[in-house]
Amino acid sequence: MTLRISWRAASARRLRRQFLPEPTVAEVAGAMLGAHAQVPSAAELSIGVRTEGAEGLTRADVRAALWEDGSLVRTHGPRGTVHLLPTAELPLWTAALTAVPDGPNTFPPDIRLTEDQTEQVVSAIGEALEGRFLTVEELSEEVVARTGPWAGDLVMPAFQELWPRWRQVLHRAGQSGALCFGPNRGRKVTYTRPPHFTPLPPEEALRQLALRYLTAYGPATPRHFARWLAAPTAWTTALFTRLAANGELEEVLYEDTPAWVAAEDTHFPTPTEELRGVLLLPYFDAYAIAAQPRERLYPGPAWHRALSSGQAGNYPVLLIDGEVSGVWHQRRRGSRTTVTVEPLNPLTAHQSKELSLRTERIGEILEATPELVIGKVTTGPHA
């Protein structure tokens, strides 16, 4: 008989698998399949909210993992966006991400890089960053010197200006292991090269990544995996078909829709087991993006309030019993931070108490004194 999984049971399991007892920073980042880190403070919150109590991780722990013990690396991850990933997992991530088919190239033909030029640029980036920390301007000079003037042509539209041609593949250099972020030099971002490693064989890396996704966010369909990875659905369908043929996936009915879990990974909480109640998740939190179907994660008014043209992550979200139930925003002034929460429905007394505790936790993570305000969030998406 095919196992039937409810949304509530799936949500409970997903959340429990991201809240680990006494974890390291790298273990949390691995369990959630990377912490989105375009905004560094959001990544610090994503990792911190998954730990609790006096020994809960703070932004200082995340920074130490990045710049002191090196267990974490800030680089280009899923969807080409900046993530914090465990350094030990780079052999998996780089092999898998570079094996994902590219989407349509939106640049005009006279701006694009050829495959040969792309390889030249990625190689030049890796060589230039070996044992060095360079700003993007310094890196640009090195890339042009190692490739040719064509790489420096100012042809790439970006933020009301033109960037050099080579920057089209900056994310690809990160995904291939030729580049990662270094510590800021004043207000300027720097890049360096991560420790050398041997990537996994591509098919093995894709296999492991698909199974890791199903472990963290299953049940899921190939379409769900494609959405999270920004990959073609036909391609992810073929990947799931191969894994199923090898006996590595098991089909279930997820809210009456056929979906997949990793083989033998079929234990789910019973209906009587409680979901983790109130959570505050920051910008582009992995759970808010990866948990599917998105229509169930953002029910009713949450779809219009907490998404931006259907895109998840542009607003920090209030999660109650596994569903988005509001938005929030934090504004820091000196040693204090004001956390404004806009619930979409009235909170119960118990939920209000939990929200106060979650706000205190935000303060602990950011090493600030928090103030909770219930009211309208007036900032726009990704503000």
Q: For residue 102, name the pLDDT band (cuts at 50, 70, 90).
A: confident
- The Cα 289–Cα 284 span in angstroms is 7
Cβ distance 121 to 143 under 8 Å? yes
**Hey, what are 38's tokens?**
């375009």
219: cis peptide before it, omega within 30°? yes
Amino acid at 37: A
- pTM for the full predicted model: 0.94
- The Cα 349–Cα 63 span in angstroms is 36
From 44, 2, 3, 13, select the one nearest 214 (Cα to Cα).
13
- The Cα 276–Cα 327 span in angstroms is 18
What is the residue-wise DSSP string for 331-351? EEETTEEEEEEEESSPPPHHH
pLDDT(303) > 70: yes
In this prediction, residue 383 carries a pLDDT of: 61
From 25, 35, 47, 41, select the one nearest 81 (Cα to Cα).
35
pLDDT(53) > 70: no
The mean of the pLDDT values for the chain is: 94
Give me the residue label for tokens 């009713």.
300
Between the alpha carbon of residue 118 and those of residues 112, 113, 147, 336, the distances in Å are 9, 6, 10, 46
Q: Select the more confidently predicted residue: 261 or 379.
A: 261
**Hey, what are 19's tokens?**
């809240």
First to last CA, the chain: 48
In this prediction, residue 209 carries a pLDDT of: 98
In this prediction, residue 382 carries a pLDDT of: 72
In this prediction, residue 103 carries a pLDDT of: 80
pLDDT(195) > 80: yes
- pLDDT, tens digit, 9 for 90 and up, residues 278-297: 999 999 999 999 999 999 99
State mean pLDDT over 112-133: 96
Cβ distance 229 to 79 under 8 Å? yes
In this prediction, residue 328 carries a pLDDT of: 98
CATH 1.10.10 describes domain 4-11+203-262: yes
CB under 8 Å, gap of 24 or more: what pairs does 147-153 form?
147/117, 147/120, 147/121, 150/117, 151/117, 151/120, 151/121, 151/124
Cβ distance 201 to 248 under 8 Å? no
State mean pLDDT over 255-269: 95
Q: Is 15 helix (H, G, I), strand (E, B) or coil?
A: helix
- pLDDT, tens digit, 9 for 90 and up, residues 330-373: 999 999 999 999 999 999 999 999 999 999 999 999 999 999 99
From 281, 271, 275, 259, select the one nearest 327 (Cα to Cα).
281
Residue 256's CB: how many other CB atoms inside 10 A? Answer: 8
In this prediction, residue 182 carries a pLDDT of: 97
Q: Is 231 helix (H, G, I), strand (E, B) or coil?
A: coil
In this prediction, residue 20 carries a pLDDT of: 83
Q: Is 70 left (phi over 0), alpha (psi -120 to 50) or beta?
A: left
Helices (H), 280-348: 286-290, 294-297, 301-305
- pLDDT, tens digit, 9 for 90 and up, residues 16-27: 998 888 899 999
pLDDT(1) > 80: no
Cβ distance 318 to 325 under 8 Å? yes
pLDDT(272) > 80: no
